[in-house]
Amino acid sequence: MKKFFLLTTVVLFLFNIKMDAQEYTTLEILNLDTEIARNAINQTFKDLKLPPMHIWNNETSDESSFYKYTSFMVKNRFVFKVNVEPNKLTISIINRQYYSNNIWVDSPLPMSKKQAAKILDPIKEKVLALTKTN
C-alpha cells in the first residue's frame, strides 16, 4: 500500500511539472494583422537561421522541421509550431526529443524556463521589431 501511494504521488508530481512547464514553451503576440504576422514569422525564422517556416496566405498554421541544440552535452531537438489567428500569433515548441543510445526519444522532462526563453525571446524580439514599422 505504501508503494502504491508513493508511486501515485510521484506520478502526479511529475504530471504537474509537465503541465506547468507547457506555458513556458509557448509564445503569444497579440494585436497583429494576420498578413503582417505571416510575413514577420517567415522573415524571422529566415533571419535567425531557424528551420524554414512558410505560412502562405490561406494557411493559419505550420510546423517546422526539427531544430537541434545541445544542452549539458546532450543533443536535443524539437519542432516549432506557428498558429496565425486574427489578432494573435502563437509560436510553440512541440515534439521535444533527446538523443540516447543512437536513437531520438521523447523527452520525459519539461524544458526549463531559461532554455525556452533563450530560444523564444529572440523570436519575439524580431517579430515585434518587424511589425513595429508596419
Q: How confident is the model at residue 96 (pLDDT cuts 50, 70, 90)?
A: very high
Distances in Å between the alpha carbon of 108 and those of 11, 19, 89, 131?
Answer: 12, 12, 27, 36
CATH number corresponding to 24-132:
3.30.530.50
- Dihedrals φ, ψ of 77, to 5°? -155, 160
- What are the residue boundaries of the structural domains of the chain, listed by start? 24-132
Over residues 31-51, the pLDDT tens digits come to 988 888 889 999 999 999 999
Confidence of residue 21 (pLDDT cuts 50, 70, 90): very low
Whether 125 shows a pLDDT value over 90: the answer reads yes
Q: 3-state DSSP call for residue 131?
A: helix
- Comparing CA positions, the residue from 47, 89, 45 lying closest to residue 67 is 45
pLDDT one-digit tens code per residue, 59-75: 888 999 999 998 888 89
Cell of 114: 531559461
pLDDT band at 19 (very low <50, low <70, confident <90, very high): very low
